[in-house]
Structure 1
Amino acid sequence: MADETPAQRRRRWLTIGETIGVLALLISAASFWDSHQQRAEERKPAPAVKAAIKPLMLTSFAGDDGRLLSIASPNPDRVIQTQTILFPTPLAIDKVDTVGNPRIEAGWFAGALNKLPHESGRPGRLPVAIVTQYLDDGVAREDSAIYEIGYRWRSRLIGSDVPGMEGMTLVSRGGAKLQARLDAKWARANPTP
């Protein structure tokens, strides 16, 4: 370095100055990139927390002098598509599938209940299992549960008594062996002698 001419010494200082300038530029670029990333993270929507799916609750409305129960969901975002209604096996009633018009008709089970001992005017309860396919805010879902249909025997002048349905109430949520649980509920309420 002692042999350096003044021109070489100036070039060396320019090189150190350029180097410091480039380092300053790199540090500024890294700082800008970091702040840009931080703002991008802040703009990202927070991850959606999955809300627990609430089970479907069905309501019913008696009509046609108790011969029809219209079934609905009280939540307008839950639209019933199809239903399968299962009856206790001892009654020998085939399952019923409904599409677009969720309902239970007394005619589906009146003949089977009429064969059992009963008194006019006396209330009764019929357990049924209902498997419902529905849309929950556009998402297809399925629910299964056991309900009890409340009915009262009504006498007719000609023919046998008919059950007039009054409504239905939830007994238990679905799960495994729905038909077996339905049959067990029927057997407990109607023991055979």
Structure 2
Amino acid sequence: MTEETSPKRLPIRWLTLAEIVAVAALVITGLSFWDSHRERIREDRDRAAATAEKQAEAQAQAKAAALKQTFVMTGAREDGGAKVALTSVNEGQVIQTQTVWFPPEIRGDSVETTGNPRLEAGWIENGLRKHAGKARTGRVPVGVLTVFIEDGQTKTDRAVYQLGYSIHPRTLRADKVELEGLSVARRDVSGDLQAAAGNLWSAR
């Protein structure tokens, strides 16, 4: 009977101090690289956010500047449609005077206002009764030359708007014309504003 021989144990090799230092240095280097990588990502993210914020601010300023340089009116129906009160969409623009033209078929002469910008149904009711046809509702173009003040400077605007109206039959009396509202049709119109309004009326 033979004796069983025990397996040989592999010799244990301890790391030398130099090797331990080298491994530690490698670990520290890896951690430092990872920290610097995360810091660089964070800085890039912060830089991108700051750039986006500056771009948004610049766009907002450009939009505000463009709005400030633009003159557009809005109209509010008043007195049951007897008139439409006009105001600028920009609160910094104050309307001083206006000269208003309608298509020649609707009204031949112009109307001027001072300090009370408006459009009145009485100015065009006879013309609409004659030339609006069978339509009970519609839009009539109106050319408007506006003098307004902005930042202490006097400026002018030339535009054509569409003035909404409705015609209501009445017994034993002429049809009643009511104004409904206002929308811009053309801006920065050169030349004859009444002709521009007349062309839109003819092409309606």
TM-score band, normalised by shorter chain: 0.5 to 0.7
The 5 A counterparts of 1:1-193 are 54-116=69-131, 118-119=133-134, 122-177=136-191, 178-189=193-204
- 82-91 or 175-184, which deviates more: 175-184
- SS of corresponding position for 1:56: coil
* Structure-2-length-normalised TM-score: 0.63
Instruction: Write the deviation string for residues 97-119 of structure 1: whole angstroms up to 9, x where unpaired.
Output: 00000000000000111112544
Change (3 A) 1:158 1:93: farther
The Cα of 1:129 is off from its aligned counterpart by 0.3
The Cα of 1:142 is off from its aligned counterpart by 0.2
Runs of 4+ in 1 over 3 A off after TM superposition: 117-120
Q: Distance in 2 between matches of 1:54 and 1:140?
A: 13
Q: Distance in 2 between matches of 1:93 and 1:110?
A: 13
**Superposition RMSD on alpha carbons, in Å?**
1.7
- SS of corresponding position for 2:203: helix
Larger helix proportion of the pair:
2
- Looking at CA atoms only, which structure, 1 or 2, has the larger radius of gyration? 2
Q: Distance in 2 between matches of 1:117 and 1:108?
A: 15
For structure 1, the residue ranges without an aligned partner over 5 or more in a row are 1-50
For structure 2, the residue ranges without an aligned partner over 5 or more in a row are 1-64
